Amino acid sequence: LSVKAYLGSQTSMSPMESQSEKAEAFRKMHKGEVLLLPNAWDVPSARIFEDSGFKAIATSSAGMMVSLGYPDGQRIPADEFLSVVRKVATVLHVPLSVDTVSGFGEEPDSVAKFIGKVIQAGAVGINIEDFDHESRTMRPLEKQLGRLKALVKLRDESDVRFVINARTDSFRFAPGDESDRFDEAVRRGRVYRDAGADCIYPMGLVGARHIESYVKSLESAVNVMVRKGLPPVGELKRLGVARLSFGPSASYAAFGLLKRASREVLESGTYTTLTEGAINFEELNSLAEERKGPP
Amino acid sequence: LSVKAYLGSQTSMSPMESQSEKAEAFRKMHKGEVLLLPNAWDVPSARIFEDSGFKAIATSSAGMMVSLGYPDGQRIPADEFLSVVRKVATVLHVPLSVDTVSGFGEEPDSVAKFIGKVIQAGAVGINIEDFDHESRTMRPLEKQLGRLKALVKLRDESDVRFVINARTDSFRFAPGDESDRFDEAVRRGRVYRDAGADCIYPMGLVGARHIESYVKSLESAVNVMVRKGLPPVGELKRLGVARLSFGPSASYAAFGLLKRASREVLESGTYTTLTEGAINFEELNSLAEERKGPP
């Protein structure tokens, strides 16, 4: 794997130095306070989050794919995916982490090649999954390990030391009962950590007791996702969580609002949901305007 | 202007017969009840509106441009614009009307050529403006009339008798005081109507008294837009309004929600705005899945 071949000599956004600084800054955010990471799906959602004061932004694969007209997964053409990553990275001042689903490839080499393009498009962090969306089955641990090792090598040979967030779907798709699945999530998390992943993301970790137990077993940065029942940020900090991401929850909420607004117009003939608490034309338009300087 | 050259022999969506039926159905919706027309900006927002029960869907130019990373206006490449129109038209069962800003051209021939492509992409209605976004000035009436006549000719020679919604920005950009501007909006509306426009869309018509007066002066289908202070649908019907569109209000509301959710997470460390009244993964994903039949 040649890093040069994957990363090229420059990115489409800021100079490489600035991107590697962003990567370092993003890496440091995994220590200390809980890193609050809102997942956007397009340019304006990313900008709204940055303007609101988040110190880094992620993408939601489900949100992004669906907004482009594809179901979640890897049915979207890779070039279309990369084109949106580039657009979002270009308008942001803060670090951007990209959910790459399974890396748009199966073999280590093809995954590393794709992730190289994601970094080239301006990202300084990536998520990579260990289950297959189409078949909804877990990849064998050895297989996923090979894929992760290729990404770790790419990262370590690169000027942009991007953050690798290794997701495991053991809680949902590993065999056995709840306890077996928890054990498998721990086992995989440790293997991914030892292989060099920077953060472990066990999908479906929600309850305080489970979170505490998982974080203690890992002794690594752990990512949890917003869901009903997730303890508030202060409690997550106490439990040792390094990173909280929104996942697709912001798009769930936005489309929930569109449903309520629709019902109100169709049933009551009024527009309160559309007009209360809304932004205005200038603010919407500013989300796509080039900015003069840092926020 | 050759219709064949503009429309080709088939569209990328349903067979031409079906599209012309949609156009007829959409045309009929401008008589009787107030046509409720929610403006979407991407595939899932369009699908949420259709699933909610609206009988036709429009696009919001501001919402669509900004979601693609461009400010409102015509700075977006025409092909990228058309590509999203095609995506949205393809997934909808109900008629789609597209806000084309100023038709991505200045001269009648180039505007007609572009609108032909919009119809070919699956739309059965269009909006066209009489002011120039970049300079924020009104086009001379004669100029806009020539542009509209080219679209009327295109429509009348086409199998798809698309609905022409002629917007005037006289209330905002015409010279003189409020009364002069109202008169200019009436004058232009009548000229556009007499040229064959199917519906007149005076931007900024909000108060009941103004609406009543405008509708009476026009004796034509009139489109109003959701804004704070707009009378409810029942009242609009009494005032003789034919069509109510959301304009960009749904995107204003959705981004307003993202701001509130951001503030809540950053200030309180909780997730109520993200998790209450939200849709779920299956529903989000279904918005991009091919459907089995009519809704």
Residue B275 CB contacts under 8 Å (≥ 6 apart), including other chains: A226, A227, A228, A249, A253
Contacts of A277 in chain B (CB under 8 A): 253, 256-257, 260
CB contact under 8 A, A265 and B49: no
A66/B261 CB distance under 8 A? no
Q: Averaged over A263-284, what is the pLDDT? A: 97
Give residue B292's pLDDT. Answer: 59
How far apart, in Å, are the Cα atoms of A63 and each of A40, A42, A58, B6, B169? 7, 8, 11, 35, 35
Q: For residue B279, give the chain A residue with the closest CA.
A: A252
Note whether B275 contacts A43, CB cutoff 8 Å: no
Instruction: Check residue A17 and give its pLDDT.
Output: 53
A123 phi, psi to nearest 5 deg: -75, 155
Count of all residues that appear for chain A in the document: 295
Alpha-helix residue ranges (DSSP H) falling in chain B: 3-7, 16-28, 43-52, 61-67, 78-91, 108-120, 141-156, 170-173, 178-195, 208-218, 233-238, 249-268, 272-275, 281-286
pLDDT in tens, A151-164: 999 999 999 999 99
**Rounded to whole angstroms, how far apart are CA atoms A244 and A38?**
8
Does residue A15 have a pLDDT over 60? no
> What ipTM is given for this predicted complex?
0.93
Continuous segment of H or E residues that includes residue A87: helix A78-91
Question: Chain A residue closest to B271 (CA)?
Answer: A226
Structure tokens at B219: 């004796």
Please state, as a whole number, how many other Cβ atoms lie within 10 Å of the Cβ of residue B53. 14
pLDDT at A107 (0 to 100): 97
Cross-chain CB nearest to A254 (options B233, B254, B280): B254
Q: Which residues 232-261 of B have a C-beta within 8 angstroms of A?
A: 232-234, 246, 248-261
Q: What are the tokens at A272?
A: 């309160």
How far CA A260 is from CA of A61, B37, B187, in Å, comes to 24, 15, 38
| Alpha-carbon gap, residue A19 to B213, rounded angstroms | 58
- Which regions in chain B score pLDDT beneath 50? 1-16, 295
Locate the chain B residue with the closest alpha carbon to A274.
B253
Taking an 8 Å cut-off on Cβ atoms, the answer to whether B256 and A246 are in contact is no
In tens, the pLDDT along A98-143 reads 999 999 999 999 999 999 999 999 999 999 999 998 888 999 999 9
Q: What is the pLDDT of residues A43-98, one digit of tens each?
A: 999 999 999 999 999 999 999 999 999 998 889 999 999 999 999 999 999 999 99
Chain segment A185-238, per-residue pLDDT in tens: 999 999 999 999 999 999 999 999 999 999 999 999 999 999 999 999 999 999
Looking only at the bridges linking them, the beta strands covering B35-37 and B39-40 are unpaired
User: Would you call A179 helix, strand, or coil by DSSP?
Assistant: helix
**CB within 8 A of A37, min separation 6: which ones?**
A54, A56, A57, A58, A97, A243, A244, A245, A246
Q: Looking at residue B74, what is its pLDDT?
A: 85
- Distance from the first to the final alpha carbon of chain B: 37
A37, A243, A262, best to mutate vs chain B, most B CBs in 10 Å = A262
Report chain A residues whose CB lies below 8 A from the CB of B232: 268-271
Q: Is the pLDDT of residue A293 over 60?
A: no
Whether the per-residue pLDDT at A6 is higher than 50: the answer is no
B265/A contact by beta carbon, under 8 A:
yes
What's the pLDDT at A3? 39
